[in-house]
A and B are shown apart, each in its own frame.
Chain A
Amino acid sequence: MVEDAELARRCAKRDESAWAMLVERYQRRIWHVAYQFTGRAGEAEELTQEIFLHLLAALESFDSSGSLPAWIQRVARNYAIDHYRRRRRERSLVADGEEFENAVRFTEDRGASSDPHRALEQKDLSGWLRDTIDRLPVELAQAVILRDLQEMSYEDMARALNVPLGTVKSRLNRGRVELARRLKRRRAEWSDRFRENPSGGDR
C-alpha cells in the first residue's frame, strides 16, 4: 500500500495511477462533507467532483510532514464552506408559505397519515430539517452543519469560519433554537390544518 506522503507527492506530479488511488481512498470522506453541506445526492456528487479537482490543484502546497487525511478534510471543508455561501447567494429560496405546501405534498406523496402527531416521523423530520437548515441565515446554517452534521470541534469551527469561539457557540445555539422554533410553528400549522379538514388532504 502506498503511503499517504508518497501518494501526495506522485499526485502533485500528475501521476494518474496515484490520483486514482487517492480518489478511491478518500471519496467516502469527501462525499460525506459534500452531502452534509448540500443535502441532495445530485448536488453532492457535483460538489464532490469540484472538491477533488480543488484538491488536485492544491496538492503541491501539501506539507508531506503533516497528515494527509487531516489536510484533505480541512481543504475539503473550507471549499465546502465557501461553496455553501456562494450557493446560498445564488439560490432563490421558496417562501415560507410554499415551504408549508411542499411539506404537505412531501408527506402525502409518501402515503403518510394526515394525523399531525404522526406526520413528522423521524424520516420526514430529517428531510424537513435538512431543507430548513438551508433557510436559516447562512452563518447559523454553517454552524449547525459543521457541528451537528460533521461533528467538528468548536476550535476547528472557529478556525474554519475565522470567528471567535464564543461567536461559534452563539451561532450554533441560535441556529438550533431557530430550527426548534420553526418546527413548533410547523406543527401548530399542521394541527390547525387537521382541525379544519379532519379527512386529511385538500384534494
Chain B
Amino acid sequence: MNCRRAEELFSDEREGALAPPIERELSAHLDTCDECQSLYETFQEVADALGAMSVPAVPDALAEKVIDKSRHARGSITTTGREGTPFAVASTSSSPRLVASASWLAVAAVLAMVVLFRPPELASELSRKTSRAARHVYSFAIRTYDQTERWIEDLNVLRMTVNVAFEDRIDQLNEQLRDLENAGRRSTEDADEQSRRHLETENESETESGAKSGSGPMATRPVATMNDLGFLTEHSSRSLL
C-alpha cells in the first residue's frame, strides 16, 4: 500500500467501514511510514474537533427580526394595521385574488367606456387609450398570476375577450366612418351636378335671347346672372312701353 492509497482510507477506517484485510494493510503501512502516521493522528484530531464544534445560542430577538423582515418582503405577510393586533390575520393588500378582482373590474370599466362613448371622432382616440389601459391592466395582472395555471388561463380568456371586444368596436367605427365618407362624397357630387346643370341652362338662355354673354364673374354666379337678365328684360320692356 502506498501513501496516497493509505490517505484515501482514513475516513473509512475511522467509521469502521474497512474490510479486515484492508484494515490490516493500512495498519501495516502506518507502522512503517512516519509521515502517514503523523498525518493519520492529526486527521483523527481534526475529525474529533469538527465533531465537537458547537453552535452559539440563538441571538436575542432573532424571531422578531425575521417576522419584521417578512413584512417588508414582496408578497409576504403584513399586518392589518389595527392596534393591539400585531399578529392578526394578514391583510390582502397583495393578495392575488384581490388583484384579480380589481383587474376584472378595471377591464369591465374600460369596456363600458368604449360602449358608452359612441361618437366616432372620440371613439377612435378613446379606443387607443383604452387599449393602452387594458394592456397595462393585463400586464400587471399577468405578473401576479405567473405561478398559477388556472389564473393564467383566465387571463388568456380575458385577453381574447378584450381583443374581440375592441376589434368589434373598431370594425363598427370603421364602418360608420366609411358610411359618412360615402355620404359626404355623394353630397358633393350632387352639388357639382346641380351647378353643372344651372350653367348649361344659363348658356342656353343667353344664346336664345341674343344677349352678350357675361364676363367671368357673371359665369361664376349663374343664378344672379339669370335674375339680372330677367330684371333688365322686364325693365327694358316697361321703358319701351
The interface of chain A, by Cβ under 8 A from chain B, is 13-17, 19-20, 23-24, 27-28, 31-32, 35-36, 41, 45, 48-49, 52-53, 56-57, 60, 122, 125-126, 129-130, 144, 148-149, 169-170, 172-173, 176-177, 179-181, 183-184
Size of the chain B interface, CB-CB below 8 angstroms: 43
Q: Is the CB of A31 within 8 A of B51?
A: no
> Which of these, B42, B46, B87, contacts A17 with CB under 8 Å?
B87
CB of B70 within 8 A of CB of A27, answer no
The 4 closest A-B pairs by CB, nearest first: A148-B50, A173-B11, A14-B90, A180-B43
Q: Which residue of B lies closest to A144 (CB)?
A: B50
Does B52 contact A20, Cβ atoms closer than 8 Å? no
Interchain CB contact under 8 A, B10 and A28: no
A149 to B52, CA, bound (A): 8
Question: Are A52 and B90 neighbours in the complex by a CB distance under 8 Å?
Answer: no
Contact B42 A19 (CB under 8 A): no
Q: Which of B62, B79, B90 contacts A48 (CB 8 A)?
A: B62
Bound complex: CA of A72 vs CA of B45, how far in Å?
Answer: 33
- Do B90 and A16 touch (CB < 8 A)? yes
- Separation in Å of the A53 CB from the closest CB of chain B? 5
Is the pair A149, B50 in contact by a Cβ cutoff of 8 Å? yes
Contact with A along B62-97 (1 / 0, CB 8 A): 110111011101011111000000111110000100
Q: Determine which of A28, A56, A57, A169 lies in contact with B58 in the assembled complex, contact meaning CB atoms within 8 Å.
A: A28
Report yes or no: A27 in contact with B11, Cβ–Cβ below 8 A.
no
| Chain B proximity of A18: nearest CB distance (Å) | 9
Residues from chain B with Cβ under 8 Å of A57 in the complex: 75-76
A177 and B43 form a contact (CB under 8 A): yes
Inter-chain CA distance A52–B69, complex, in Å, is 9
Query: What 17 new A-B contacts, CB under 8 Å, besides A35-B56, A181-B39?
Result: A14-B78, A16-B71, A16-B86, A16-B87, A16-B88, A31-B58, A49-B66, A49-B69, A53-B66, A57-B76, A122-B52, A125-B49, A126-B53, A126-B54, A129-B50, A129-B53, A176-B47
| CB atoms of B88 and A20 under 8 A apart | no
> Please, which residues of chain B bring their CB within 8 A of the CB of A36?
55
In whole Å, how far is B226's beta carbon from the nearest beta carbon of chain A? 89
Q: A49-B65, A173-B11, A179-B46 are in contact. Are A27 and B58 (CB under 8 A)?
A: yes
Which residue of B10, B51, B53, B66 contacts A177 across the interface (Cβ within 8 Å)? Answer: B10
CB<8 Å pairs between A and B, sample of 16: A13-B90, A16-B90, A19-B70, A23-B66, A24-B63, A32-B55, A48-B66, A56-B73, A56-B77, A126-B49, A126-B53, A148-B47, A173-B7, A173-B8, A176-B10, A184-B38
